[in-house]
Each structure stands twice: as structure tokens, then as C-alpha cells.
DNA sequence: AATTGGTCCAACCGCCCGAAG
DNA sequence: GCTTCGGGCGGTTGGACCAAT
């Protein structure tokens, strides 16, 4: 037996919204905000389900929605993100300013999926239908598993950070409850500025200088440091935190077939060399994977310290794959690997990210 | 002009998850 | 620990629209 419906359906209108209904909904939200969607229809004089009101608002009436044709840049970004995130439309939408997940989903299903298919690329795996990459397909699949696990964690991070932002701006009570009164704009979270992006995997592939950066941080600084403070750079100023970093010396690249977990020693309020002792795991255990769930997000004035670690447990993983390693170690398949590398690089190179992204 | 088939997209549905009681 | 509730998400649908026949 499923849960009861979100509202009493008898007498509720379904189907397309009329301009009058839109007007009522907009006027109400403008005046009172969108606190409880369940209660909103009655208060606003609408014979609609609360869910229907929410959808209409989020996908159509919200004033910050960008409508019209997708630009080439947006198309590329969607494809790139879909390659990494799969059908996580809300996560993809977070990287496209003012586009809704529904719109992106529709655009993917009606345009982009077909286009990729025509190009001979499987729109699900983003691999060529004829497997010209040979054994690298396995690596990509493995990569996807890792990325999925990490994204689960980041999804939670996003939720937490949203609450944190609301809490900081409007007080703790509103962190758990939607804003019910006041300025309309308060309830609208500009996607780009308020949701931490989760594209560090892109930077990893692009060879961002994750490892070669001096592993020190001025802990007294409140300046946001994209290396130490990004959600997935796993910086945490507490002692004895375990975290995982790339296991080779190629900047930003990690072998997906193994991973490292280490212990860091930061000295608080000092510039201190990070010391790490690394353990190597052939494959992440389920226990290890489960620890990725433990994310806390704190906002200490202007510094964002993100810890993706359970202080009481033993690890944190961060999964990236790489292609250049494969190229370097499997000379027999150099050509195929280069093809593979080029495919991903072409995806990544044109990916645009918000200039104000806290990660970059 | 009528019919047919394809495309597009707003809206619905069911499920999941976190919070609250 | 459980149940309930509300919000969010992704998959799917239905109807409007358009081009081809």
C-alpha cells in the first residue's frame, strides 16, 4: 500500500493551467511566498493540487526562468554533464543558469539523445555503439560507478548547503522550513550562486593542479580557497581526518582501479605541511563507500570548510578516473586510448562553468 | 482539405528521502 | 523505532502543433 495522496483529489482541477490560475498563483506567491505547497492552493483560491502548483511555479512561472532555444554552449554542457551525471536532471540544471530540470530533460529526450544516436554514440553510456575503445569501456564503466557514489554524497551536500544558506540569510527556523511570507525573491535560490557545483571531476580530467599545489593552507585566512575549500577537495582543518587523494603523481588523475586513503595532519591556525600516510585499497569496500555519505557543511563566516568525512570512522573516498594513465601504460592500445581520451577531452574542454563557482 | 505520423513540452504520477511527531 | 507528511526528483503521458502525403 502506497502512501496517501498529497492532497484530496476530489474536485481538483487537472490539465493545462489557465492565465487566471497563473495570475492567482503568482499573486499569492508574490505576496506570501511559497511556504506550504499543500496549503497554498486553498489559500490562493486555486482548485489545484499543491504539487501541481509547485510544478507550475518551478517549471513555468518563476521569474528567473530562461526560456527559448538552448544555445550551443548549453547543449554542449548538457551533453557533457549527462555523460558524467546520467539522468540527474536536477544536478545538471544546477549548472545551467535559469534552466529547469524539466526543460533540460525534455530537451535531452527530444533533441540531444537523437542527435547522439545519429552520431553513433550511445546516449546512455556516451560511448560509441561500436566499441572502438576496446578495454577502456570497462574503465569508463568503473568511472561511472565511482562518480555515481560521489554524486550521491554531493547531492546530500547540496541539500545541506541550501539549508545552510537559508539559515544564514533568514535564520535557523527557515533552514528546515520553506519561507512562507515576505518577499517573493527570498524563496528563489539562484542556482549558480547558491548550489555548490560538483564538477571537480572535470577539473581532474583536465589536469587541474590538485597535487602539485603546495599542501599548506593558512588556516587563519578566511579567503575561499578553491583547492582546500572546495567541497570535494576534502579539506578539513581538524586533525586526524582520513581522506582520499589521487594515488599517483599526475596532477588530478586517479586510477579508478585502486584508491588511497590516508590520514592528514593539519595544525590549526598555522601554515603546516600536510603529512599523509596512505593506504591502498584495490577496490573501495562497501563500508568505505558508505562513508561517503557523511558530509557536513559548515559556514564559518566567509570560509567554507567542507568535510566529507565521518570523524568517527576511517575514511573518505574521492573517485576519479583518468585516461592519460591508461595511455601511458598501455602502449599497445595507444591509438584507441587516445581516441577515448580525445572523446572525453572534447567533452570537457567545452564545458562552461559559472565564473563565481566556489569550486573553481 | 483531410489524414497521418512525428515532434515538442507542460503536466502528471509514483517513488524516495528527510524532518517532525 | 515507527509513521506521517511535504518536498523533490525522474519517468511518462497526453494533447497541441506541424509537416508530409
d(CA A306, CA A297): 5
How would you label A106-132 residue by residue, b for 16+ Cβ within 10 Å and e otherwise? ebbeeebbeebeeeebebeebbbeeee
Span A268-293, average pLDDT: 34
Statement to judge: residues A95 and A139 lie in one domain: no
d(CA A96, CA A99): 6
* Strand B reaches within 7 A of the A192 CB: no
User: Tell me, what CATH number does A97's domain have?
Assistant: 1.10.10.60
d(CA A205, CA A251): 9
Domain annotation covers residue A154: yes
Domain annotation covers residue A182: no
The pLDDT value recorded for residue A68 is 78
Residues β-bridged to residue A260: A280
Statement to judge: residues A74 and A126 lie in one domain: yes
Number of domains in chain A: 3
Statement to judge: residues A120 and A97 lie in one domain: yes
Question: Does this model's pTM top 0.75?
Answer: no
Distance A10 CA to B13 C1' (A): 16
Does the structure show a pLDDT above 50 at A129?
yes
The pLDDT value recorded for residue A55 is 85
Show the domain range for A106.
70-130
pLDDT band at residue A98 using 50, 70 and 90 as cut-offs: confident
Q: Give me the A residues in range 147-186 that sit within 7 A (CB) of strand B.
A: 156, 159, 163, 176-177
Share of chain A above pLDDT 70, in %: 32
Span A224-252, average pLDDT: 28
d(CA A12, CA A15): 10
Say which range, A3-7, A90-94, A163-167, A300-304, has the weakest mean pLDDT. Answer: A300-304
Statement to judge: residues A126 and A136 lie in one domain: no
Statement to judge: residues A44 and A79 lie in one domain: no
Q: Which of A327, A133, A335 is nearest to A122 (CA)?
A: A133
Nucleotide nearest to A67 (CA to C1'): B9
* Strand C reaches within 7 A of the A67 CB: no
Domain annotation covers residue A158: yes
Encode pLDDT of A142-197 as tens digits: 455 555 555 555 555 555 554 444 444 434 433 333 332 222 322 333 333 333 33
Q: Which residue has the higher pLDDT, A116 or A356?
A: A116
The pLDDT value recorded for residue A143 is 52
The pLDDT value recorded for residue A232 is 31
Domain annotation covers residue A31: yes
Determine if residue A253 is left, alpha or beta; phi over 0 gives left, psi from -120 to 50 gives alpha, anything else beta: beta
SS3 call for A69: coil
The pLDDT value recorded for residue A123 is 77
Statement to judge: residues A103 and A75 lie in one domain: yes
Domain annotation covers residue A103: yes
pLDDT band at residue A25 using 50, 70 and 90 as cut-offs: confident
DSSP per residue, A294-312: --EEEEETTEEEEE-S-TT
Statement to judge: residues A40 and A82 lie in one domain: no
Domain annotation covers residue A78: yes
Encode pLDDT of A33-84 as tens digits: 777 787 888 888 888 888 888 888 888 888 878 877 888 888 888 888 888 8
Cell digits of residue A314:
576511517
Domain annotation covers residue A360: no
Statement to judge: residues A87 and A121 lie in one domain: yes
* Strand B reaches within 7 A of the A56 CB: yes
When the pLDDT of each residue in chain A is averaged and rounded to a whole number, the result is 51
Cell digits of residue A65:
526562468
Span A201-210, average pLDDT: 36
Domain annotation covers residue A88: yes
The pLDDT value recorded for residue A156 is 52
Does the structure show a pLDDT above 60 at A104?
yes
CA distances from A204 to A76, A209, A210, A277, A287 (A): 19, 8, 8, 22, 25
| E strand residue ranges, chain A | 241-243, 259-264, 276-281, 296-300, 303-307
The pLDDT value recorded for residue A85 is 82
The pLDDT value recorded for residue A151 is 53
Statement to judge: residues A79 and A119 lie in one domain: yes
Amino acid at each position: 500500500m502506497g502512501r496517501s495522496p498529497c492532497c484530496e483529489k476530489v474536485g481538483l482541477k487537472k490539465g493545462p493551467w489557465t492565465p487566471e490560475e497563473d495570475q492567482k498563483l503568482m499573486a499569492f506567491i508574490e505576496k506570501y511566498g511559497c511556504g506550504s505547497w499543500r496549503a497554498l492552493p486553498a489559500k490562493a483560491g486555486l482548485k489545484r493540487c499543491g504539487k501541481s502548483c509547485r510544478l507550475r511555479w518551478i517549471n513555468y512561472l518563476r521569474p528567473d526562468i530562461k526560456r527559448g532555444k538552448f544555445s550551443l554552449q548549453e547543449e554542449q554542457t548538457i551533453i557533457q554533464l549527462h555523460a558524467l551525471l546520467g539522468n540527474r536532471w536536477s544536478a545538471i540544471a544546477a549548472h545551467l543558469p535559469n534552466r529547469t530540470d524539466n526543460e533540460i530533460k525534455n530537451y535531452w529526450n527530444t533533441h540531444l539523445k537523437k542527435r547522439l544516436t545519429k552520431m553513433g554514440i550511445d546516449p546512455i553510456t556516451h560511448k560509441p555503439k561500436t566499441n572502438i575503445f576496446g578495454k577502456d569501456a570497462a574503465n569508463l564503466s568503473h568511472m561511472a560507478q565511482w562518480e555515481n557514489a560521489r554524486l550521491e554524497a554531493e547531492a546530500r551536500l547540496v541539500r545541506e548547503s541550501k539549508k545552510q544558506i537559508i539559515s544564514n540569510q533568514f535564520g535557523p527556523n527557515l533552514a528546515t522550513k520553506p519561507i512562507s511570507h515576505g518577499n517573493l525573491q527570498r524563496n528563489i535560490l539562484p542556482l549558480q550562486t547558491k548550489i555548490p557545483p560538483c564538477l571537480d571531476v572535470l577539473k581532474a580530467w583536465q589536469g587541474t593542479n590538485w597535487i602539485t599545489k603546495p599542501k599548506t593552507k593558512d588556516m587563519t585566512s578566511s579567503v575561499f580557497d578553491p583547492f582546500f575549500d572546495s567541497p570535494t577537495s576534502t579539506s578539513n582543518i581538524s586533525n586526524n581526518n582520513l581522506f582520499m587523494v589521487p594515488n599517483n603523481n599526475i596532477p588530478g588523475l586517479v586510477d579508478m582501479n585502486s584508491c588511497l586513503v590516508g590520514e592528514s595532519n593539519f595544525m590549526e591556525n598555522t601554515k603546516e605541511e600536510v603529512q599523509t600516510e596512505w593506504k591502498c585499497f584495490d577496490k573501495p569496500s562497501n563500508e568505505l563507500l558508505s562513508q561517503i555519505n557523511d558530509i557536513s557543511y559548515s559556514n564559518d563566516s566567509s570560509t567554507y570548510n567542507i568535510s566529507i568525512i565521518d570523524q568517527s570512522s576511517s575514511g573518505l573516498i574521492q573517485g576519479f578516473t583518468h585516461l592519460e594513465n591508461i595511455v601511458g601504460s598501455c602502449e599497445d592500445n595507444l591509438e584507441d586510448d587516445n581516441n577515448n581520451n580525445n572523446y572525453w577531452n572534447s567533452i570537457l574542454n567545452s564545458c562552461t562553468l559559472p565564473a563565481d563557482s566556489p569550486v573553481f
